[in-house]
C-alpha cells in the first residue's frame, strides 16, 4: 500500500466517522480528556512531593 492509498483510506475513515459522531459526544470527549489530564498532573505532583519527603526522611 503506497502513501496515497494510506492517506485516502485513513482520510475516508476519519471523515465518515466524523459525520456519525454527534457534537455532544465530541464535547464530552474533549471535557473528559481535559479532566483526565488535570487529574493526572495533580496526582503526579502529589506523588513527587511525597517521594521527595520520604527520600529526605530516610536520608537523615
Q: What does the pLDDT look like over 4-54, one tens digit per residue?
A: 888 899 988 888 887 787 888 889 999 999 999 999 999 999 999 999 988
Distance (Å, rounded) from C-alpha 12 to C-alpha 39? 34
Is the pLDDT reported for residue 57 higher than 80? no
Sorted by sequence, the CB contacts under 8 Å of residue 1 that are 6+ apart come out as: 9
Residue with cell 520520604: 54
pLDDT at 60: 60
Distance (Å, rounded) from C-alpha 28 to C-alpha 22? 10
pTM exceeds cut of 0.75: no
SS percent in the chain: helix, strand, coil, step 5 = 90, 0, 10
Distance (Å, rounded) from C-alpha 4 to C-alpha 9? 9
Amino acid at each position: 500500500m503506497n502513501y496515497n492509498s494510506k492517506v485516502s483510506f485513513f482520510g475516508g475513515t476519519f471523515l465518515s466517522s466524523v459525520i456519525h459522531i454527534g457534537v455532544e459526544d465530541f464535547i464530552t470527549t474533549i471535557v473528559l480528556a481535559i479532566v483526565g489530564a488535570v487529574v493526572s498532573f495533580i496526582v503526579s505532583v502529589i506523588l513527587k512531593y511525597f517521594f521527595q519527603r520520604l527520600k529526605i526522611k530516610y536520608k537523615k
